Amino acid sequence: MEVKNEHNQLLTNVINLRKRYALVDKLVARPFNIFSILRAERNERFTHSAFIAELLNPNGSHCQGAIFLKLFLDEIKWDSDLTTDISKSIVKPEQYTGDGFIDI
């Protein structure tokens, strides 16, 4: 009888854990992936890299200037000279380096 109670408790714990994970998924939109929706998960050269480069480009079609580039550089704690004007940055996807390609 004790083993049955342990199994029931284990199943209850698993059910509760799955409910918590489902709630977290909903709160942070974890399952959402724009590239999956567009069926473009595999071709990063023409999807992921191009999309991210466009967002980071101060002259991008989003018309938001350098805001996305600034947020990215802040996130990675990029330590730049205070006189650097990132609005003049050039952001390109898939650049050949001599040894291969760099994404952005």
- Chunked into runs of 10 residues, the chain (104 residues) has average pLDDT values of 85 94 83 77 76 94 94 88 82 90 89
Number of domains the chain is built from = 2
Based on the domain organization, do 23 and 52 belong to the same domain? no
Based on the domain organization, do 21 and 70 belong to the same domain? no
Which structural domain, as residue segments, surrounds residue 88?
40-104
Based on the domain organization, do 68 and 95 belong to the same domain? yes
| Overall residue count recorded for the chain in this entry | 104
Based on the domain organization, do 20 and 44 belong to the same domain? no
Residue 85: count of CB within 10 angstroms of its CB: 8
pTM of the entire structure?
0.59
Based on the domain organization, do 18 and 45 belong to the same domain? no
67-75 helix and 48-56 helix, angle to the nearest 10 degrees: 100
Based on the domain organization, do 65 and 102 belong to the same domain? yes
CA 75 to CA 3: how far, in whole Å?
50
Based on the domain organization, do 24 and 55 belong to the same domain? no
φ, ψ dihedrals at 102, nearest 5°: -105, 135
